[in-house]
Amino acid sequence: MLKKVDEFISMPSITSFVDDTHSSSADDDGEGKIRYRAVFISDLHLGTPGCQAEEVLSFLKEFPSDKLYLVGDIIDGWQLKRGWFWPQSHNDVVQKLLRRARKGCQVIYVPGNHDEFARDFFNHSFGGVEVHEEAVHTTVDGRRLWVIHGDHFDGVIQYAKWLAYLGDNAYTLVLKLNRHLNHWRAKLGLPYWSLSQYLKHRVKTALNYVTDFEVAVSHEAAKRGYNGVVCGHIHRAQMREIDGILYCNDGDWVESRSALVEHMDGHLEIINWHPDLENSRLGTLSTPAREAVAV
C-alpha cells in the first residue's frame, strides 16, 4: 500500500497535471497568493458547532498548494449520527475541497476515527479526492514523512481517554460548578475543595498523554524507516524532533486553527491561522503558543 502511494505521488502525469493549476480561471481562490508545495490539515470536525468553517475557508483561500493532505476527522460522523448539524459554511468547505481537487491540486484524504465511515473506501477516489489508509509525503529535499491520523495510537498509550483538551466552555462550566459546589460544601461544614489542585492533576495527565502520544508515533515512524511523521488527532499542533524523527502535528480547526505547510523550498512550518491578526504565523521551529488548558 505504502509503495503504491509513493508511486502515485511521484507519477509524472500527476506532476504535469499539477502544473496546469497555473492556468486557473479568474475565480480561482489563491490567485496571486504564494503557492505551497503541500498543506496538511486535520480535525475540522465538520458537522459540529465547534468547527470553525469560515476560518477553514479563508485559510484555504490564502494557502493554495500542489498537494493537500486531509489528515482525518474532517467530517464528524459521530456527531452527525446524534443530530444533524450542517450549515452552509460546512457545505462550502466540502465544495472548496472538491474544487481544489478539480483545479489540479492532489488531494489525499486519510480518514480518522470520527470519519471512520470513509475507511470503507481506501484506494478509492471521490471527485478527485483520494482516500488512503495512510500516505507518504516526500518533501522537496527528499525527507519521507508518514502521514496518519493517529488514533490507532490511543490503544498503545496507557491513558484510555485523551484529556489533552479541555475547551474554554468546559473550563468556564467547571469553574461555575465549583463555585456552587463549594457554596454547598461550606453550608455543610465541609472544607473548600481545591479546583486548582484537581485541574493541575488533570493537566499533568493530559500533558503526559500528549508526550506519550508524540513519542509513540515517532518511534513507530522510526521503526518503519521514515524521516518524519505528520498526524493530527490530539488537537495540539507541534513540530519538533523526537529521537531523530521529525514529529509534526497539524493541530485542529475546532479551536487552535492550525495547519502544517511545506514551502516550495522544502521547509516546513506550522501556521496558526488568525486572519484578523496581522501576524498570524509562528516561526518554523517554534511551538505554537497555545496551552493545553488555560489554568
Which positions ≥6 away from 168 have C-beta within 8 Å?
255, 294
Place of cell 484555504: 60
CA distances from 9 to 40, 44, 112, 172, 259 (A): 15, 24, 21, 46, 21
In the bound state with Mn ion, the residue whose beta carbon lies nearer, of 105 and 108, is 108
Q: How far apart are CA 244 and CA 270, in angstroms?
A: 19
235 part of the interface to Mn ion, by CB under 5 A: no
Q: What share of the chain is helix, strand, coil (3-state, %, to 5)?
A: 35, 20, 45
CB of 143 to Mn ion, least distance (A): 25
251 part of the interface to Mn ion, by CB under 5 A: no
SS3 233: coil
236 part of the interface to Mn ion, by CB under 5 A: no
111 part of the interface to Mn ion, by CB under 5 A: no
113 part of the interface to Mn ion, by CB under 5 A: yes
DSSP 59-84: HHHH--EEEEEE-S-SB-HHHHHHS-
In the bound state with Mn ion, the residue whose beta carbon lies nearer, of 30 and 112, is 112
Cell numbers for 190, please give them.
465541609
DSSP secondary-structure letter at 255? S
Cell numbers for 47, please give them.
458537522
112 part of the interface to Mn ion, by CB under 5 A: yes
Strand duo 258-262 + 238-242: pairing: unpaired
Which stretch in 3-11, 225-233, 255-263, 265-273 sits in contact with Mn ion by CB under 5 A? 225-233
In the bound state with Mn ion, the residue whose beta carbon lies nearer, of 43 and 130, is 43
89 part of the interface to Mn ion, by CB under 5 A: no
Kindly determine how many residues on this chain lie close enough to bind Mn ion according to the rule CB under 5 A.
5
130 part of the interface to Mn ion, by CB under 5 A: no
CB of 51 to Mn ion, least distance (A): 13
Which stretch in 85-93, 107-115, 124-132, 242-250 sits in contact with Mn ion by CB under 5 A? 107-115
Q: Which of 66, 73, 76, 115 binds Mn ion (CB under 5 A)?
A: 73
CB of 48 to Mn ion, least distance (A): 12
CB of 254 to Mn ion, least distance (A): 11
Q: How far apart are CA 240 and CA 285, in angstroms?
A: 7
Residue 247, beta-bridge partner list: 229, 240
233 part of the interface to Mn ion, by CB under 5 A: yes
Which positions ≥6 away from 50 have C-beta within 8 Å?
167, 254, 255
Which stretch in 57-65, 105-113, 194-202, 284-292 sits in contact with Mn ion by CB under 5 A? 105-113
Site for Mn ion in 263-282 (CB under 5 A): none
Q: How far out from the chain centre does Cα 49 lie?
A: 17
Residue 140-169 contact track with Mn ion, rule CB under 5 A, x = bound? -----------x------------------
Applying CB under 5 A, the residues found at the interface with Mn ion are 73, 112-113, 151, 233
